[in-house]
Structure 1
Amino acid sequence: MSSSCSWPCSALPRAIHIALAIIFVVSVSFLDHVNGMDAKTVIDSPLLTQKIGTNRTIKVDLNGDGDFNSVQAAIDSVPEGNSQWVIIHLRKGVYREKVHIPKNKPYIFLRGNGRGRSAIVWSESSSDNVASATFKVESHNFIAFGVSFKNEAPTGVAYTSQNQSVAAFVAADKVAFYHCAFFSTHNTLFDYKGRHYYDNCYIQGSIDFIFGRGRSVFHSCEIFVISDKRVTIHGSITAQNRGSANENSGFVFVKGKVYGIGGVYLGRAKGAYSRVVFAKTYLSNTIEPHGWTNWSYDGTTENLYHAEFKCHGPGAESEKRAPWSKELTEKEAAPFLSIDYINGEEWLPVWL
């Protein structure tokens, strides 16, 4: 049988060489991209470990194959006034305990095996948000990677003292969470104060589930809304409580997505100067057309800073937005899109 080809057969070797050359150039360009300045676009545990530059590791293992089988015991072993990074490695498992990192124990890197594998879980409702928290960090320079924080208390009775069930209380400066998850029904993440960075995190809740007065960037985070059948009002993703025009705090959501079950507002006015920005974020139709609410706040709305910038998806339609809300211009959005908003270049090991 004779063979045939559409090109002259003598041209095949040259074509193959050209194709291989193209593949080589593309491959080299890709590797240059990965190994160059853009390598920080892939944030994983080895990269963070490399950036903080430590070989001090405390292993926590539920089966007794580590230094401790309790997360809190490992934290307690870190000396007060610690001045060098120490890794506390949570091996796979569900650690059923309340965990507290006190003010005098900075430079802790809590490293899990992935948010679906390493979890800190407790079940408590309280009239006090802080008292209910499964996890509390009050020391500066803290990092968590690949850990889930969960308060699995059953949903309490609305408007009563047993309604707070916080998964994490973040009350320190220079705190970062990478690839972590936060689960609760109500008041999930108490972002109380300080500069914080959340990268590729998952946050789930129904009402006021990201609240406080932190100065925080949520980059490429997944926000999942669950329905609260106890009340007729719609919940809010955020309840930011900036105290004055001079206070430099506010929540900024960049990229990521918001979706879930039931209607919800992007935020409510916790106080007169509440500041929240959603930028370049996918908003599903779980977002109420009004977008923002001043429910429970009866003061003037002129100082509220509830804003959006280039969001997309069915929940991003702006025709019925609250009259005080803002659609930012490129110039107005720029300060919030920069890592300088939290002075990240000064303290973050890596960012996007």
Structure 2
Amino acid sequence: MIHVTSKQFNQIPLSVLDLAPITEGSTAEQSFKNSVELAQHVEKWGFNRFWLAEHHNMPGIASSATSVIIGHIAGATKSIRVGSGGIMLPNHATLVIAEQFGTLETLYPERIDLGLGRAPGSDQATSYALRRTLNMRVDDFPAQVEELQGYFEGGDESRVHAVPGEGLEIPIWLLGSSGFSAQLSAHKGLPFSFASHFAPDYTIPALNLYRDNFKPSRVLQEPYAMLGVNIIAADTDEEAQWLATSQQQQLLSIRSGRPSKLKPPIDNADEVWSAAELAAVDKSLESDATIIGGPDTVKRQLENFIEKTKADEVIVNAQIFDQKARLRSYEIVAEMMD
């Protein structure tokens, strides 16, 4: 059971997880333009962070060079925090990430977040292309995080220095969809972001692990958990359900091993999907962390999710094909939190 004092609904910071979707018939170039437009709008609407995620070999996601697009978004905005949700640290030399985010923090002071994950963000063949090996030990990721923190802390005794990077206070978050990063975040006294939007069944157990084992640190005195939520909001429940068929198609394409660009909504799912596929889609809609509907429906379900989890912050993913509809979805969320 979670023993955390509940905040008022409108006191919960809202953030954005942008997967930089490439829509069917469009390009990565347009995806980046859409991400800039979205970031500028949600900044105006009062959202707290704008995070991008590292994925590779995914035709429908344009944020593979995550550090580069973070800089692009930060340069096109003024105040919103911009960061990674996340950088898959085992894909990279730790020194390179320290230098990249040191550069970003130097360019955009006090606006950069460094969220770290340990998954490859793609398939086995792509992992090999990224020079990852399959014989990594459980301890490798904690050791990498420790090494990264060391580069930021620096010291005269170090032979290798991250320039820029050394001496900068860049918030490090650990991301996860299981208990591993929850325990590591707690042990190191770091903020924790859990991927409730695709691992909903593990949300409460992971939060309990994090909160029950949290050790205060120099950077954080009390546990702080941000949870991912899929929200497809529209002016009516019916429109939202129709818009959500794009995300459902993307989910099925990934599960079938044939990832694709984000497809337009469909009117009649029975004409497109088999019974088994329809069942899989229905299963994906049962989660508390997937909310689809008009303003009243979204507000009610999001209130319930926050009350159930005692989230300190919510980061919203909205895989919507039409850019205007995607902007409207985030606007609705912002309006109901006002």
Which TM-score band applies after superposition, normalised by the shorter structure?
under 0.3
Q: TM-score, normalised by structure 2?
A: 0.25
Structure with the greater alpha carbon radius of gyration: 1
Q: TM-score, normalised by structure 1?
A: 0.24
Structure with the larger RCO, 1 or 2 (CA within 8 Å, 6+ apart): 2
**Which has the larger share of helix?**
2
